[in-house]
Chain A
């Protein structure tokens, strides 16, 4: 199938073309490849903001307030909201859009809901494709809202320039969840619902957590390549009220500060390199898994190995090694 017509329209800023291309990329990884092939040179202009946080932290209201501000600045905004797919039925309820109702019909706002379709890490397999498509479509800012289950939503850090983690006063477990997973990927901590009494306490808890974490940041000789991005950046903490918009001016300053930091320190290029690497790895994983699955399902030799494993004359590890040998011969 030829997608050049859709791609041409996408580059002209046609909304339907953008939406349809996202659907195509979601539904078929081979098609996604072709699409990204054609538009890759047109990407790289959007600033990508990742938003994560546990349920009940008010992510959607927070994003709504950001949308309002960015519209005021004349920006074109893309929003991608990822929701979980039920492992039992394969279905999903995509419920974030409803909370952004006021923006359904604004010209410069494109909201897209995605189910994660079983992908771990807080995003869908095609979220990166969708980001690129919206980038090529002409969005200045792309906001990505992750599934929001907490500690496992780490993939956003590979896709976004700035990662914002939302917390609210009161919820007790969120700090624990952050420690267990997303602390290292956070650029800005936002304590939402600052009108609640215990907001300051939440800020103190985060500061304490970060101080304890200093050891990790500066003493470790071998910071994993992935984390190079946050080296030397001390995460910012800020209280806001999404309902009233209070402190959002300060938040935006902090986002710009982080952006400048990325550019000035050259980390952004490091970050881009890493991003290319991890993305490629991701693609490789998909492609190889598919190839291996094909092989497993349609090869007489494999059938023979399986029988040997059943008869205990071979074990699964040895069988895996034999298969890798077969693959090496194929490449």
Chain B
């Protein structure tokens, strides 16, 4: 073969499907990675052994050889009775932790009979107004034997108080309770929008829960610092990484301002990330997150205990990636996303049900989602060794790159004066809106392929059986609320709420006051309204 012909053959074999390959953070991906791409690589400094600083390879030394991740399916719908039944079903099928989704009216601290709750009761989660609902929700479930994750933010302190009181009634002391409250208000302003109070009093309530739990509920995770919703709102993986960790820094700084010792509270902070479609990008995101957190806690906040530097996280597969077209394909998407989370070293995992782009998950779909995790855990062999991808040129390069890009964002946030000023300047909101618009455009222009959505489409009528919430639930919830209000000692309720307001005006820790109100069956809505009188409400300047 002549030389020129050889070149031609080579050129031909290099014809590519696309002009440019980029991941979902718009980072350009090269054809091949070699040792040149990780030139200054230093094993001890950049990775370290699993379970050791900077924790890049994993939070624990033996990872899944010692203990599998917690398979924690987020659920909650309809009434407390219905959700209680679903919990018992999941626990009987081998699930190891509960995860409570609350109805939107509970999330906003609005009573079921408020006109703004119209149509929302029990739709996205279980409807809770008073302690009574909480007692029914955990009826027959021993709270000292399970760990419970509650996805609740603005009223997190109230739901935690209810959980503690339910525990007391079962005969358990608070220190026996294990679980997590999401309690991450910063990402609400940034992405999910279920805020109630302005940022400053919201941060106070969060630091109150940190302080209280450190003393009395030591096995509780006080904040689940969440990137999940930031990603669902349309951010890139880099933005999810950077904004979530920036929120984390915000909480650490707020708690330290109250003179709490970083090593007392940091071990009880946990994280919650999304797992989207780009496999390696997600894995590298988790590895970078652990390394950034460890470095920052040690170097900037002066943490001494390794537990304070160790980032642990829950993962949920990307709801936003599910398609209504050919919903069964979502099972495959979820499998890949779950695998990425496992290879990235997650401590717990929620796999989405394939029908969620159509309705609330049905029982069969929930079962398949759980089975997906079990197949990965027990059949695939990926759990046999820790961080199996370490040392791959591509994986280490991309982990470094994600960290680098995140650091750029930290600098910009710092320039704006920190997380809260950046929220008020709509910085995050604008960045996310731009990213989500760009992503959607790329799909529309066929620059990114979504199977059966913009390529390989077959239009078939949907045959998935759907779960629907009976409007009866709303009626029953309102009836129960009215009944409680008629039966409880309303003078006591009023008294505890007045005391709460008084304390809110000062600087005392509010959790004991909230617990007193909860014990008297004050509703979430009543407690929130009392606090609103003192704290005011937040108004968003929506931008995009």
Contact = CB atoms under 8 A, between A and B. Distances in A.
Would A and B touch once assembled, by the CB under 8 A criterion? Answer: yes
Interface of A: 60-61, 93, 95, 98-99, 101-102
Nearest to A93: B544
Nearest to A58: B541
B11 interface: no
A171 to B, nearest CB: 12
B543 A95 contact: yes
A58 to B, nearest CB: 9
A61 B543 CA distance: 14
Interface string B319-333: 000000000000000
Contacts of A99: 541-542
B539 to A, nearest CB: 7
Contacts of A60: 541
Nearest to A98: B542
Contacts of A101: 539
Contacts of A93: 544
Given A93-B544, A95-B542, A98-B541, 6 more contacts: A60-B541, A61-B541, A95-B543, A98-B542, A99-B541, A99-B542
A199 to B, nearest CB: 17
Contacts of A95: 542-544
12 contacts: A60-B541, A61-B541, A93-B544, A95-B542, A95-B543, A95-B544, A98-B541, A98-B542, A99-B541, A99-B542, A101-B539, A102-B539
A203 B544 CA distance: 32
Contacts of B542: 95, 98-99
A61 B426 CA distance: 15
Contacts of B539: 101-102
Interface string B529-542: 00000000001011
Interface in B236-270: none
Chain A residues touching B, majority SS: helix
A99 B542 CA distance: 7
A135 B542 CA distance: 30
B444 to A, nearest CB: 15
Contacts of A98: 541-542
Contacts of B543: 95
Interface in B480-537: none
B359 to A, nearest CB: 30
Instruction: Name which of B541, B543, B544 has the most chain A CB atoms within 10 A of its CB.
Output: B541
A277 B324 CA distance: 60
B196 to A, nearest CB: 15
A61 B541 CA distance: 9
Contacts of B544: 93, 95
A95 B542 CA distance: 8
A246 to B, nearest CB: 16
A236 B479 CA distance: 59
B86 to A, nearest CB: 37
A135 B403 CA distance: 58
A308 B96 CA distance: 88
Nearest to B541: A99
A101 B541 CA distance: 10
A102 to B, nearest CB: 8
B440 to A, nearest CB: 16
Contacts of A102: 539
A98 B544 CA distance: 12
A99 B541 CA distance: 6
Contacts of A61: 541
A101 B538 CA distance: 12
A6 B542 CA distance: 34
Nearest to A243: B539
A93 B542 CA distance: 12
A95 B430 CA distance: 13
A98 B541 CA distance: 7
Contacts of B541: 60-61, 98-99
Nearest to A101: B539
Nearest to A99: B541
A95 B541 CA distance: 10
A96 B312 CA distance: 42
B234 to A, nearest CB: 17
Nearest to B425: A56
A305 to B, nearest CB: 45
Nearest to A60: B541
A60 B541 CA distance: 9
Interface string B25-43: 0000000000000000000
A84 B541 CA distance: 18
A83 to B, nearest CB: 13
B263 to A, nearest CB: 36
Q: Which 7 A-B pairs have the closest CB atoms?
A: A98-B542, A99-B541, A95-B543, A101-B539, A60-B541, A95-B542, A93-B544
A97 to B, nearest CB: 10
A1 to B, nearest CB: 37
A291 to B, nearest CB: 41
Nearest to A61: B541
B116 to A, nearest CB: 13
A182 B541 CA distance: 27
A23 B177 CA distance: 61
A39 to B, nearest CB: 35
A60 B426 CA distance: 15
B118 to A, nearest CB: 16
A167 B544 CA distance: 23
Nearest to A64: B539
A267 B542 CA distance: 41
A61 B424 CA distance: 13
Nearest to B543: A95
A68 to B, nearest CB: 13
A95 B426 CA distance: 14
Interface in B164-220: none
A28 to B, nearest CB: 31
B434 to A, nearest CB: 13
B375 to A, nearest CB: 46
B20 to A, nearest CB: 24
A168 to B, nearest CB: 12
B265 to A, nearest CB: 32
